[in-house]
Amino acid sequence: MNLRIDRSSKNLKIILSIVFSVVLLTGATLIWKSLGVLRQKAKMPVEMNNDETAGWKVYKNDKYAFEIKYPPFLKMITKGPNAAQQQIERGETISGTIQPSNDTVVFTDEEGKEQLKIEIFGFYEKEISQENYVEGDLYLFGACDSRWGFNPTAINVKRINDNKVLVVKGEMSSAETPTFRNCYYLKNDANLIVFNTADFDNQSYFQEIDKMLFSFRFLE
């Protein structure tokens, strides 16, 4: 009788051992297959299903080595160096009130209203940062100049693609009707570039600026 119980117990242990091994092997196989699928997915290129800039125009500036996409309803105009830079090129002394810029690119809508202005300045050796805007001289560049009644309400640094961008938001307190402005500062080893948008006549901000900034890239 004891012999039968011992044999039955031994057989049960063998069966349970086999079942456990099968379950463990099956689980390991499923995990391995799942990992294989994940590895294959990781190797697949990421595709933009909804490219919101598809069909947009491309502005490429070979002289200052950058390009950017912009909506087809905008008209792009380059105005060249500002008055201060033209004075320097003529060998004249400037007051220093306005920073000399090498070029200005203006984007207007169907009604001719300015929606975005890109100012291209020369080499800027300092870091683009909150501290350098508030305590340094970065505020002198672009439309967010605190000398003319601009009051910054938010100053943040963020990274868009491979570009470090300083974002300054605020309003013009000196205007009869408050005008809200946004300025976006980028730089490379050669130039400081400032994007300027404004809320003219209490209209909404230019809504495509984030998409345009995402498409911006410096050329090698």
> Residue length, the chain?
220
Can you read off the two tokens belonging to residue 103?
């070029």
pLDDT tens column, 192-217: 999 998 765 444 446 788 899 999 99
Multiple choice CATH, 57-218, 2.60.120.1690, 3.50.50.60, 3.40.640.10, 3.40.47.10: 2.60.120.1690
pLDDT tens column, 94-136: 887 889 999 999 998 888 888 899 999 999 999 999 999 999 9
Map residue 195 onto helix, strand or coil.
strand
Of residues 201, 5, 15, the one with CA closest to residue 109: 201
Map residue 68 onto helix, strand or coil.
strand
pLDDT of residue 177: 62
pTM: 0.73
Check if the beta carbon of residue 59 is closer than 8 Å to that of residue 186: no
Over residues 179-195, the mean pLDDT reads 93
pLDDT tens column, 146-172: 888 899 999 999 999 889 999 999 998
Q: Give yes or no for residue 3 having a pLDDT over 50.
A: no
Provide the percentage of residues in the chain whose pLDDT is more than 90. 47
